[in-house]
């Protein structure tokens, strides 16, 4: 099993996760949700689990995982941050997992940081002292976006789509951390990432070229410096609307919070009403796979995202199509 | 006129602290003299408008060993580590990491300029130390009270409650003792390495 998990980098182009071939890369991966996914980002948790299940990826939640320490820990001390994140990697290794996936880019930074601090000969000893657990640095941390784009891929996703999101304009917003800095992320392009673009295109939606896809949304300053979030998040939504966006797709709980939960505050800062749905990319994929909106936590979003659901006409077309399929099936029998 | 008022003259030779340059280079593992002041970092930085010194000037001040100016600056605490500067540095300096090292040093020296940001981070970590995971519902009221900003995000509370996204019980994971021990070992290690100043 662990041999298969380690092959994640080797199987970059593989999109056979759905085709049932046994030699595909990751089918079972350790899952680190992170604190946000238990609270304000609960819909990211639900949609991640639902989409992975539908695409044949087994998630093993790390038992008794703890907070990675986030920005507060690495502003205090990178070694403390590494030890807090390291405990989760150590538990994942105990479970026999060679890769940990997290949907949160902030957690990803801490988890990858732990491996880096361990690999550095100057910091290894104090890291192990703080951690107080066996650690061999073999567990690899990857983002959910990386997992889905490398282990499933847009072609396989397109084949699995049941309800194409035709006619919807969805702007992909990666946020600042997911692909930067390049040498640390080791995934996609730091300035113009395309993996989320490709996955959303596979759902049938229209994906415009978005120049602000990696610009910062205001990060952790929602609480302490609210106007910064007002200005920066507003700029992102303003540009997206100019591109005709029906929704912005995000991959980060903090970006989502700033753009969705705080959209009223952003409205007040800009003296306008954006009314722009901010959805997780997993919710977009889930809808296209035909998963129920409630299962994907669409009702948990603050700005209503029902415009992404199929209209009654589209629904009827879909039913006719599926009836044709079943009719074909019965003919064969 | 306005521009002149903002210029503060530094007695560079008098205040140059060579140990500080070494300390920053060691903590960040970056060679600071690689910076040739092209300004790409400042051009990329979306936070420049709230900084007192744009990030390229912070890099220059580090080269000049201007410890006091830097450690008291607003900029190092308003940097969000968004990595735009690091991504675009033509000399492959990890600028964001240098900024992070400066924050860590300013905490050790007790010169943090943005007290409420430090307070928020401290309360966050206390929550993690106590429960093993961060308890969002508890964190905000404590921060608002201690920062004397009782109306922080009060407008959001009813909407969050309506969505059922707030938990009223702290997470309390089984390994919370193990997590709190990591904090204890960290505090002991820091005392051993250097007497605390803050």
Convert the pLDDT of each residue in A86-117 to its tens digit: 999 999 999 988 899 999 999 999 999 999 99
- Point out the residue among B83, B103, B120 whose CB comes nearest to the CB of A181: B83
- Give the pLDDT of residue B8: 64
Q: Is B87 on the interface with A (CB under 8 A)?
A: yes
Q: From residue A153, how far is each of A145, A198, A279, B42 by CA, in Å?
A: 10, 8, 20, 36
DSSP A166-219: TT-BEEEE--SSTT-SHHHH-SS-SSS--HHHHHHHHTT-B----TTTTS---T
The residues in B 95-124 lying below 8 A from A, measured between CB atoms, are: 96, 100, 103-104, 107, 114, 116-117, 120-122, 124
Query: What mean pLDDT is predicted for residues A20-36?
Result: 72
Residue B153 has pLDDT above 60, yes or no: yes
Task: Indicate the pTM of the whole model.
Answer: 0.90
Residue A203 CB neighbour total at 10 angstroms: 27
Token pair belonging to B62 = 């580090």
Which pLDDT score, from 0 to 100, does residue B123 have?
96
pLDDT for A15 equals 38
Structural domains in chain B plus CATH codes: 13-109 (1.10.1060.10), 115-193 (no CATH)
Give me the percent of chain B exceeding a pLDDT of 90. 78
Shortest distance between the Cα of A310 and any Cα of chain B, in A, equals: 23
pLDDT on residue B192: 85
For residue B14, the model assigns a pLDDT of 84
Chain B, 39 to 58: residues with Cβ < 8 Å from chain A are 46-47, 50
Q: Tell me: the pLDDT tens digits for A210-261? A: 999 999 999 999 999 999 999 999 999 999 999 999 999 999 999 999 999 9
Interface of B with A in 124-163 (CB under 8 A): 124-125, 128, 132-134, 136-137, 140, 143, 147, 152-153, 155-156, 159-160, 163
Strands laid side by side in the A99-102 sheet:
A58-61, A28-31, A99-102, A140-143
pLDDT in tens, A129-163: 999 999 999 999 999 999 999 999 999 999 999 99
In angstroms, the separation between the Cα of residue B51 and the nearest Cα of chain A is: 12
- Chain B, residues 158-177, CB within 8 A of chain A, namely 159-160, 163-167, 171, 173-176
CB contact under 8 A, A38 and B94: no
> Which residue, among A32, A33, A38, A39, would best test binding to B if mutated, counting the most B CBs under 10 Å from its CB?
A39
Q: How far is CA B21 from CA B24, B33, B79, B103, B105, in A?
A: 5, 10, 20, 14, 12
Q: What is the pLDDT of residue B169?
A: 87
What is residue A64's predicted lDDT score, i.e. its pLDDT? 96
Q: Is the pLDDT of residue A19 over 90?
A: no
B167 pLDDT tier (thresholds 50, 70, 90): confident
- Chain B: closest CA distance from residue A90 (Å): 13
pLDDT band at B168 (very low <50, low <70, confident <90, very high): confident
Task: Look at residues A104, A142, A102, A153 and name the one whose alpha carbon lies nearest to residue A251.
Answer: A104
The answer to which of A96-110, B3-17, B102-116, B184-198 has the lowest mean pLDDT is B3-17
Q: What is the pLDDT of residue B4?
A: 54
Q: Quick one: pLDDT at residue A322?
A: 58
Comparing A13-22, A97-106, B82-91, B119-128, which segment has the lowest mean pLDDT? A13-22
Give the model's confidence band at A323: pLDDT under 50 very low, under 70 low, under 90 confident, else very high.
Answer: low
Region A73-91: mean pLDDT is 96
Q: How far is A277 from chain B (nearest CA, A)?
A: 16
Q: Which residues contact A168 (CB under 8 A, 6 or more apart)?
A: A205, A206, A246, A247, A307, A308
pLDDT digits (tens, 9 = 90+) for B19-60: 999 999 999 999 999 999 999 999 999 999 999 999 999 999
Q: How many CB atoms lie within 10 A of CB A8?
A: 21
Query: How much of chain A, in percent, has pLDDT values that exceed 70?
Result: 86
Closest Cβ–Cβ partner in B125, B128, B189 for A130: B189
Q: Please state, in angstroms and rounded to a whole number, the distance separating the CA atoms of residues A50 and A293.
A: 11
Q: At A34, is the secondary structure helix, strand, or coil?
A: coil
* Chain A contact for B84 (CB, 8 A cutoff): yes
The domains of chain A, with CATH numbers, are 2-6+25-146 (1.20.1050.140), 162-315 (3.40.50.11810)
Does the structure show a pLDDT above 80 at B195?
A: no
- Rg of chain B in Å (alpha carbons): 20
Which of B132, B160, B185 comes nearest A67 by C-beta? B132
pLDDT digits 0-9 by tens, A268-292: 999 999 999 999 999 999 999 999 9
* Per-residue exposure over B30-63, b if at least 16 CB sit within 10 Å of its own CB, e if not: bebeebeeeebbbebbbbbeebebbbbbbbebbb
């Amino acid at each position: 099993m662990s041999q298969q998990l380690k092959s994640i980098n080797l199987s970059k182009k593989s999109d056979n996760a759905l085709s049932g071939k046994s030699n595909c890369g990751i089918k079972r991966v350790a899952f680190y949700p992170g604190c946000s996914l238990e609270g304000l980002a609960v819909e990211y948790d639900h949609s991640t689990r639902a989409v992975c299940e539908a695409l044949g990826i087994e998630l093993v939640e790390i038992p008794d995982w703890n907070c990675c320490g986030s920005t507060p820990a690495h502003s205090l001390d990178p070694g403390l941050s590494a030890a807090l994140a390291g405990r989760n990697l150590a538990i994942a290794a105990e479970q026999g997992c060679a890769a940990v996936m997290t949907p949160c880019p902030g957690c990803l930074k801490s988890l990858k940081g732990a491996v880096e601090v361990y690999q550095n000969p100057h910091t290894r000893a104090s890291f192990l002292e703080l951690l107080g657990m066996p650690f061999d640095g073999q567990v690899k941390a990857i983002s959910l976006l990386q997992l889905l784009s490398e282990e499933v891929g847009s072609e396989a996703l397109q084949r699995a789509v049941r309800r194409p999101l035709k006619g919807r304009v969805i702007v992909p917003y990666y946020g600042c951390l997911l692909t930067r800095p390049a040498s640390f992320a080791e995934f996609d392009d730091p300035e113009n990432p395309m993996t989320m673009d490709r996955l959303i295109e596979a759902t049938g939606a229209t994906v415009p070229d978005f120049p602000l896809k990696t610009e910062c949304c205001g990060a952790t300053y929602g609480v302490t410096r609210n106007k910064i979030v007002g200005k920066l998040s507003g700029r992102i939504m303003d540009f997206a609307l100019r591109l005709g966006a029906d929704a912005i797709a995000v991959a980060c709980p903090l970006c989502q919070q700033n753009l969705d939960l705080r959209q009223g505050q952003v409205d007040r800062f800009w003296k306008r009403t954006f009314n722009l749905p901010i959805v997780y990319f997993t919710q977009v994929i889930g809808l296209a796979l035909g998963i129920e909106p409630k299962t994907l936590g669409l009702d948990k979003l603050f700005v209503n995202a029902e415009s992404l659901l199929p209209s009654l006409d589209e629904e009827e077309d879909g039913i006719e199509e599926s009836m044709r399929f079943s009719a074909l099936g019965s003919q064969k029998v | 006129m306005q521009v002149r008022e903002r210029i503060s003259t530094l007695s560079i030779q008098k205040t140059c602290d060579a140990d500080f340059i070494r300390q920053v280079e060691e903590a960040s593992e970056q060679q600071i003299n690689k910076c040739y002041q092209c300004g790409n970092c400042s051009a990329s930085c979306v936070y420049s408008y709230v900084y007192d010194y744009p990030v390229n000037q912070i890099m220059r001040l580090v080269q000049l060993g201007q410890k006091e100016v830097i450690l008291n600056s607003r900029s190092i605490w308003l940097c969000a580590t968004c990595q735009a500067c690091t991504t675009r540095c033509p000399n492959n300096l990890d600028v964001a990491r240098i900024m992070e090292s400066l924050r860590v040093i300013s905490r050790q020296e007790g010169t943090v300029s943005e007290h409420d940001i430090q307070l928020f981070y401290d309360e966050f970590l206390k929550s993690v130390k106590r429960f093993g995971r961060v308890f969002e519902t508890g964190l905000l009221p404590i921060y608002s009270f201690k920062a004397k900003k009782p109306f922080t995000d009060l407008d959001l509370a009813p909407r969050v409650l309506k969505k059922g996204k707030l938990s009223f019980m702290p997470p309390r994971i089984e390994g919370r003792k193990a997590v709190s021990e990591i904090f204890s070992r960290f505090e002991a290690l820091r005392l051993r390495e250097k007497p605390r100043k803050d």
